[in-house]
Amino acid sequence: MKGNELKPRIGIFGRRNHGKSSLINYLTGQEIAIVSATAGATTDPVRKTMEIGGVGPVVWVDTAGLDDEGELGRQRVEKSLAELKQCDLAVLMVANNVFGDVERNFVALCRKEKVAMTVVYGQSDRVAPREEFLKTVEKEAGVKPFVFNVLDGSVRETMLGEIRDALPETAYRHRSLLGGVIGKGDRIVMVTPIDSSAPEGRMILPQVQVLRDILDNDAIAIVCKETELEETLRGMGEKPSLVVTDSQVFGFVSKVVPEEVRLTSFSVVLARAKGLFEEYVKGTPTLDSLKEGDRVLMLESCTHNVTCEDIGRVKLPRLIEKHAGCRLEFDAVAGLSAIERPLTDYRLVIQCGGCVVTPKQLASRLAPAIDAGVPVSNYGMALAYLNGIFERAVKGVENGKRRTENGEGRTENGEGRTE
């Protein structure tokens, strides 16, 4: 159920004609990228998915040369560097014993963006690396270059092993969404409304992800629509350990679910798993201080068909304006599209759950706002706050003791499994 966005991304960067495209073809064993003696053959990022033993599927990204020239070249460089923010690992290609400002600036950018990096010396069959050059690169980049040439197929597995070791485990060892919150035998009710914005014939990705995680934790999943929730709870015999609902029906569901039963939403669960939970908790109360004319940025990680019941572009803005009691300005930006306004123009940034992106990609998207001091929230957190159940929704995903049907605590914590 995972798209390319949820796979670790490994970007290949470097000057023109340094062998970036040859490297991606060499590693994938396919003619994916155009290889040419003409500088600048790669103009737009080229992506290819392949399996790496011990990691699983990854997405390789071949980029344009970092030393491209002219106005068009500058745009290509900007596009390449934009890819870096979404990468879990950057492979810097060097060759011809050249390590100058282009490489130093890239190393500095990797450190600023907190992107792991490794260095490959390519085309060694043409110009062999000098020992002092390799030592210089290791000193400046902090990693020892891997020397190879595309004619030597014997080092492919060794190189993949080096890349696997350089790739942060957090990029591919996914944290359980509800690990430590639920455990073996717990009964978890999932409330999944079906309206005009629901996809035909299937569940949305956050619901699928939570369902899978419940099963991975050896718990029992019970799925119903909000209109059948009361009957579902009545027929269970004992109260569930947790109810996870679509945020859009928080208000209705919170009135049906007894106070002693933990309640949260799919979006809040994702907030916990993606690593920005505390930022959301801190930023969400900004909803109380919005004033006439304030601008709010709605960030969507995916692109989708917008309907009259769209949560991020219709329902949530309407509820926020009602809560604020004044007219506000809303901008919506989908996927990785550029944010046209300075982030300081916004009083609040509200991110979707981020079901189709990795924690690294989500953190990179929101980092400029956080760095600029702009409060951030997410759809589920905001909806819980607007419905007056913010504290309840947050506590619903806290680690620690879980309540049984009679309200007594038990100390066994469900340890989440990784895939």
What are 215-245's pLDDT values in tens digits?
999 999 999 999 999 999 999 989 999 999 9
Chain center to CA of 99: 32
Provide the sign of the torsion angle of the four alpha carbons 308, 337, 330, 311, taken in this order: positive
Length of the chain: 419
Strand ranges inside 186-303, DSSP E: 187-191, 220-224, 242-245, 262-265, 295-300
Q: Examine the pLDDT at 321 and tell me if it is beyond 90.
A: yes
Q: Examine the pLDDT at 141 and tell me if it is beyond 50.
A: yes
Q: Mean pLDDT across the stretch 270-289?
A: 94
> How much is the CA Rg of the chain, to the nearest whole Å?
24
Alpha carbon distance 305, 199 (integer Å): 10
Q: Mean pLDDT across the stretch 245-273?
A: 95
pLDDT per position as a tens digit, 89-117: 999 999 999 999 999 999 999 999 889 99
- Kindly state the percentage of the chain with pLDDT values over 90: 57
Contact 40, 89 (CB under 8 A): no
pLDDT band at 166 (very low <50, low <70, confident <90, very high): very high
Rounded (10°) CA dihedral 99, 100, 101, 107 = 10
Q: Quick one: fold of 4-171?
A: Rossmann fold (3.40.50)
Same fold, 4-171 and 187-269+390-410: yes
pLDDT per position as a tens digit, 55-88: 888 999 999 899 988 888 888 898 889 889 889 9
pLDDT band at 198 (very low <50, low <70, confident <90, very high): low
Tokens 């706050």 found at = 385
Mean of the per-residue pLDDT values of the chain: 86
Q: Which CATH architecture has domain 187-269+390-410?
A: 3-Layer(aba) Sandwich (3.40)
- pLDDT of 5 reads 54
* Cα Dmax for the chain: 75
174: which 2 tokens?
């996914």
Tokens 């890349």 found at = 163
pLDDT band at 309 (very low <50, low <70, confident <90, very high): low
- pLDDT of 409 reads 37
Q: Examine the pLDDT at 204 and tell me if it is beyond 60.
A: yes
DSSP conformation class of 135: H
85: which 2 tokens?
């923010």
Q: Examine the pLDDT at 17 and tell me if it is beyond 90.
A: no
Q: Mean pLDDT across the stretch 396-401?
A: 72
- Listed by start position, the domains of the chain span 4-171, 187-269+390-410
Element (H, E) at 351: strand 348-351
- pLDDT of 392 reads 96
15: which 2 tokens?
């000057």
Q: Mean pLDDT across the stretch 36-45?
A: 50
Smallest Cα–Cα separation from 183: which of 418, 407, 399, 393? 399
Contact 11, 87 (CB under 8 A): yes
pLDDT per position as a tens digit, 344-358: 999 999 999 888 777
pLDDT band at 30 (very low <50, low <70, confident <90, very high): low
Smallest Cα–Cα separation from 148: which of 39, 50, 26? 26
- pLDDT of 410 reads 37
> CA triplet 90, 93, 95: central angle to 5 degrees?
165
CB contact set of 270 (below 8 Å; sequence gap of 6+): 177, 206, 209, 353, 354, 355, 378, 380
